[in-house]
Amino acid sequence: MGKMDRIIRAVLWAAAVCLAGYLAGRGYMALRDHPSSQAQKLMEQAYQAVGEAALGTYLPGCQYQEGDKDQLMLAGIWENVEEHFPLFTYLKEQEPVETVVEDESTRHDIIAKNGDTITDRILAENQGQAVEAENQAAREDTSGTSTGEETGEEGGEVDNSGKTTEGEETAETQTADASGQPAASGTETGTDQNAAGQEGTGTQTDQENGAKTEGQTSADGSEMPAWTTAVETSPVKDLSMEQLSDFNYLLNNFFVVDPNTTIDSSQMNASQLLNDDLKITGDSGSPQILIYHTHSQEGFADSVEGDENTSVIGVGNYLESILRDVFGYNVIHLKNTFDVVDGQIDRSAAYNYAQPVVQQVLDENPSIEVVIDLHRDGVPDDTRLVTEINGKPTAQVMYFNGLSYTVNNGALDSLPNPYITDNLAFSFQLSYMAARYYPQFTRCIYLKGYRYNLHMRPRSILLEVGAQTNTVQEAMNAMEPFSVILNKVLKGE
């Protein structure tokens, strides 16, 4: 089609449109000037309907009016245009805002602190009421004679675990006197002291206990220390099999389950856990127990920087000496610093560094049947995990188990652990034994989703001794009742 043809066609169309408009206009004017009343009414309604339909279809925001319904349509349309297209306010001068971007190190610190805060809150909600109930029971059991440090403060939850689940479990223990972060549950009144507590008479002295141990000798030939005689007392918890067979009772009184994992009654069967034979079969002619510290730099309230004797390693030294010299076990104590990289504390890969070293020791010493990863917990600074046992202020302990199962990912095939059930039985038997002899000693058994190197032996535990708010001496004192209950479990008593 040529240019001239297109021009002619456009002119014809324009003429047709103009003619149609003219005819429509003339018709409307004629109808308006000489209408019947009915025809005029119909025309007005049609006009209004067409206008509303057009606005509702193409400009629905302009059709609705608030306030004065009688304002001019153009005014309403303009207001709606300003509201829906705020170009005018956008161009107003505004104060420039500078975006602050944290460096990599600061971001990691923020993420870590945020994770700790969330964990603390979750664990506090999970444990707060149970801790208060246990503390109250302890106060009633000792008839008001408990010492000022006998009531481990409630509210303590671990940094990373509630009852200490530190992201990868940063719990540390120490030797002679330092404080660490508490995480947890109530208080305790001591084993032998609780023997007297059965009659509501308060605590029992070391001298009274000593009378029970006369004539007994330890592995090194010396007289057995008074604290080695544990007297069964009335427990704070109901230990009847009827109660222990109740999954909810077991869960609420012995275990704390981290939100990242879950467990059911098939895994937590008290009868099966207690009947699991955990007696060691070897003799002390070969190594039987391995102690190590994934987080070797964990310390306590009065730890001295650079002095391992006031860190969890020092606490491990004391536990080693008790197990060897008092109970006659053959013990290896690893003191490697898996959480120190290039001279700086770095726990991000401590478990990865520890695994091959520990595995090598176990390969070289297949007679080892018990593996203890000794930590101390991390808790709020106003939390104290302390009780009194044998007349001594004693840090409370917690057992930590990994289930290799998370809520989000299910079973972690990349972190297999063939000894999950054995480890649960080991922790539960220790906790059960403590409930019989030292009712306020054990805080809980904390269950988390990962593995924590507990897959190398059936009797493996991650032991959290007190927290950063305990003293070194309180942590040291805790090794005495712990060694007693450990010996009872390993001897099948």
Lowest mean pLDDT among 205-209, 310-314, 489-493: 205-209
User: DSSP strand E in 259-349: where?
Assistant: 289-292, 331-333, 340-341, 344-345
Res 173: pLDDT: 32
| pLDDT (average), residues 83-102 | 53
Distances (CA, A) of 388 to 184, 305, 371: 15, 27, 27
Q: Indicate the pTM of the whole model.
A: 0.59
- Decide if 369 contacts 281 (C-beta within 8 A): yes
* Residue 313 CA: distances (Å) to CA of 99, 303, 392, 472: 46, 11, 21, 11
Average pLDDT score over the chain = 75
- Beta bridge pairs of residue 341: 344
362, two tokens? 């176990």
* pLDDT(207) > 50: no
Residue 195 banded pLDDT, cuts 50, 70, 90: very low
pLDDT band at 72 (very low <50, low <70, confident <90, very high): low
**Which range, 114-118, 146-150, 344-348, 417-421, has the best average confidence (pLDDT)?**
417-421
Copy the structure tokens of residue 454.
Answer: 């507990």
| Average pLDDT of span 399-414 | 93
Given this model, what pLDDT does residue 18 score? 87
In the numeric block, which tokens belong to residue 160? 């990373």
368 in Cβ contact with 289 (< 8 Å)? yes
Name which of 78-92, 117-131, 334-348, 442-456 the model is least confident about.
117-131
**What's the rounded mean pLDDT across residues 243-270?**
90
SS3 category, 133: helix
What is the rounded distance in angstroms from the CA atom of residue 460 to the CA atom of residue 420? 9
Residue 224: pLDDT band by 50, 70, 90 thresholds? confident
Calpha distance 486→429 (Å, rounded): 9
Q: Rounded CA gap, 410 and 383, in Å?
A: 34
- Phi, psi torsion values for 279, nearest 5 degrees: -65, 140
The answer to whether residue 218 scores a pLDDT higher than 80 is no
The answer to whether the CB of 152 falls within 8 A of the CB of 440 is yes
Q: Which of 152, 142, 148, 235 minimizes the C-alpha distance to 186? A: 152
Nearest to 230 by CA among 194, 199, 268, 202: 194
Q: Does position 209 have pLDDT exceeding 50, yes or no?
A: no
Torsion on CA atoms 235, 239, 240, 241, rounded to nearest 10: -170
Convert the pLDDT of each residue in 313-341 to its tens digit: 999 999 999 999 999 999 999 999 999 99
User: What are the backbone angles phi and psi of residue 205, rounded to the nearest 5°?
Assistant: -85, 165
Count of Cβ atoms closer than 10 Å to residue 147 Cβ: 18
Classify residue 127 by burial, with Cβ atoms within 10 Å: 0-12, 13-18, 19+. buried
The two tokens of residue 148 are 């000022």
**More confidently predicted of 149 and 294:** 294
pLDDT at 70: 53
AA letter at 304: V
Q: Round to whole Å and give the CA distance between 162 and 452.
A: 16
Residue of higher predicted confidence among 202 and 236: 236
Residue located via tokens 């009827």: 242
Q: Which residue has the higher pLDDT, 20 or 71?
A: 20
**Residue 172 contacts residue 376 (beta carbons within 8 Å):** yes
What is the CB-side half-sphere exposure of residue 395 using CA atoms within 13 A? 41
Give the count of alpha carbons within 13 A of 450, CB side only.
11
**What is the predicted pLDDT for the residue at 184?**
36
- Closest to 452 (Cα-Cα) out of 411, 489, 417: 417
Whether the predicted pLDDT of 403 surpasses 90: yes
pLDDT at residue 201 greater than cutoff 80: no
Q: What is the DSSP string of 55-110?
A: HHHH-HHHH---S-TTS-HHHHHHHHHHHH--HHHHTS-----PPP---HHHHHHH
Which pLDDT tens digit goes with each residue over 427-460? 999 999 999 999 999 999 999 999 999 999 999 9
Kindly report, residue by residue over 455-486, the tens digit of the pLDDT. 999 999 999 999 999 999 999 999 999 999 99
State yes or no: pLDDT of 160 exceeds 70.
no
